[in-house]
Structure 1
Amino acid sequence: MRALTPDLDPVGVAEIDRRLAAVAVEHAVTVPWAVESGSRAWGFPSPDSDDDCRFLYVRPLEVYASPWPRRDVVETPLDAVFDVSGWDLAKAVRLAARGNATVGEWLRSPIVYDGDPAFRDRMLALVGEVADRAALARHYRHVGAQQWDRCGAGDAEVARLKGVLYALRPAATLHWMSGHAGLPPMNLQELLAEAPPDGDVLEAVAELVEAKSRTREVGDGRVAAPVRRFVQEWLSGADPALPRDARPADDVVTRAEAGFLTLVREFGPR
């Protein structure tokens, strides 16, 4: 499966394909899912947006049984254009069970460099089964609030557009989650289309996205009042702190382990 957008440079796509193929050979893994995870996939690219490819990889079952666990991240050389790295399936399942939203977002990316739809569907079902929605909401509220503070929007009318949109997407995700079950879309436009905000927020967001599309990654711009109100409403409040490595409930661990083993047997190297 491949789902690309016209703005992607074919030369860049070919380089990502080359890196993914090299990862599979050099690490003796399969790569059943590789997607764009940056601002292009989120729905607000800039003229100088990098190619941010993220992938999930699967090792042979006997490797997971080893008493010496392997490193659970694979990174290819980082440069000014390409940021291509991936997570071991085991890491992805562990993080999903702890409430990390990243895995679900990768599985719902609208830009797919290479992927097996059967793997995506099975993994989405597993993540949906083990993920704690309260923990997901905590994740989005924390990330959004951090971005809102860093971009300067909390103190000034003009702020860094990239940071404003990085805060807006978590706010839109929380708004979506308030009325929908399952895992939220990654793309900002999908979130807003499936859960339209009240008032003139949509028009203000469209203008903000258009401004960023003409502005370099570090560009500044005015934060419209409807966007400011929407973000502050959905990112307000505080969640109780949890231990960083809190173990999920035993029943969640059991389901996660069973789903993980099924995925390894079906999609791991033969």
Structure 2
Amino acid sequence: MTLRSIPASMDPTVVGQIDAELDRVQREHRVTVRLAVESGSRAWGFPSPDSDYDCRFVYVGELDTYLTPWPTRDVIETPLAGLLDVNGWDLAKALRLLVAGNAVLIEWLTSPIVYRGDAGFRTDLRDLAGEVADRNRVARHYLHLGTKQWSLFESNRSLKKVFYSLRPAMALRWLREHPQAAVAPMHLPTLLAECELPGTLLSAVAELTELKSRTREMGSGAVPGPIAAFIEAEFDCAEVAFPKSAYQDPARVRALTTEFFRAETLSR
């Protein structure tokens, strides 16, 4: 089954340009785009009127590109064009980063906005991520990302950075409240809905989100108290709740990802 999920709020002209760019990538680079999603603030659930379109994709090359001592690049980057930002990873790169604890691929797999993709591929890759992703490493990814953005906010007071800190903090909270899971939703409203949170925080987030939705440039200012307290508390808690760890069974993780990669490349 082919995947396609585009909100009516997105500019159809820009969506058409993304479709054309993905077609061009497949044709010129001799690859198959297996999944292409929106990965920026539109998919996170807090876009501004002038938010970029951040299309990210996972692709598989032709078999001969993997059967050579001279491998090609494992990233395809297209030129920025206005609000358009379209880039992708080779499946092998995506799997290596997944195993290393990078949560980016996980987020692509949970994006609510899908430009194109194969439903079976996404389901199988989600299942694999659930098997091989290390909870602590994924959480440490969010902790590093969030504390960096929070530090930037404290230095320039840009309210945009508040959201870039809040979403990782919410992912950390979600992981703590779902101790059997390693894959957290990327969509901020979903994270909020699936956690036990005080009403004061939910109200503050709703007000700030509404402001961002109608303001082209949020500017700088003080962050609402409930949000600041939540962010700082979650980052402090995560340092203890998600310690640095080594994989307990690296051979199994490599075997599972290798099997998935071979199946996908040989099926082309």
Normalising by structure 1, we get a TM-score of: 0.90
* Rounded Cα–Cα distance in structure 1 between residues aligned with 2:149 and 2:82: 23
Q: Which amino acid aligns with 2:89?
A: W
* Rounded Cα–Cα distance in structure 2 between residues aligned with 1:115 and 1:217: 33
- Determine whether 1:258 maps to 2:256: no
State the match for 2:169 in structure 1.
171
State the match for 2:16 in structure 1.
14
State the match for 1:47 in structure 2.
49
- The answer as to whether partners of 2:31 and 2:62 remain within 8 angstroms in 1 is yes
* Rounded Cα–Cα distance in structure 2 between residues aligned with 1:49 and 1:257: 37
Partner SS state of residue 47, structure 1: coil
Structure 1 residues 182 and 138: CA distance shift in structure 2, 3 A: closer
Cα RMSD after superposing both structures:
2.0
- The answer as to whether partners of 2:175 and 2:184 remain within 8 angstroms in 1 is yes
Partner SS state of residue 8, structure 2: coil
- The answer as to whether partners of 1:44 and 1:213 remain within 8 angstroms in 2 is yes
Residue 261 (structure 1) shift: 1.1
- The answer as to whether partners of 2:136 and 2:243 remain within 8 angstroms in 1 is no
Residue 241 (structure 1) shift: 7.2
* Aligned positions of 1:47-86 closer than 5 A: 47-86=49-88
* Rounded Cα–Cα distance in structure 1 between residues aligned with 2:68 and 2:163: 43
- The answer as to whether partners of 1:72 and 1:91 remain within 8 angstroms in 2 is yes
* Rounded Cα–Cα distance in structure 1 between residues aligned with 2:99 and 2:263: 16
* Aligned positions of 1:1-270 closer than 5 A: 1-152=3-154, 159-180=157-178, 181-217=181-217, 219-236=219-236, 238=239, 249-266=250-267, 268=268
User: As a proportion of its length, which structure holds more helix?
Assistant: 2
How many aligned residue pairs are there?
260
Residue 235 (structure 1) shift: 1.1
Residue 98 (structure 1) shift: 0.5
* Rounded Cα–Cα distance in structure 2 between residues aligned with 1:149 and 1:242: 25
Partner SS state of residue 55, structure 1: strand
* Rounded Cα–Cα distance in structure 1 between residues aligned with 2:243 and 2:187: 28
Give the unaligned 5+ runs of structure 1: none
Query: Which runs of at least 4 in structure 1 moved beyond 6 Å after TM superposition?
Result: 239-243
- The answer as to whether partners of 1:196 and 1:202 remain within 8 angstroms in 2 is no
Q: Which moved more, 1:93-102 or 1:73-82?
A: 73-82
* Rounded Cα–Cα distance in structure 2 between residues aligned with 1:15 and 1:265: 30
* Rounded Cα–Cα distance in structure 2 between residues aligned with 1:47 and 1:220: 17
Q: Which amino acid aligns with 2:227?
A: V
Q: Which moved more, 1:253-262 or 1:49-58?
A: 253-262
* Rounded Cα–Cα distance in structure 2 between residues aligned with 1:148 and 1:161: 10
Partner SS state of residue 53, structure 1: strand
- The answer as to whether partners of 1:45 and 1:212 remain within 8 angstroms in 2 is yes
* Rounded Cα–Cα distance in structure 1 between residues aligned with 2:185 and 2:8: 21
Deviations 1:71-124 (A, max 9, x none): 000011113311001000000000001000000100110011111111100111
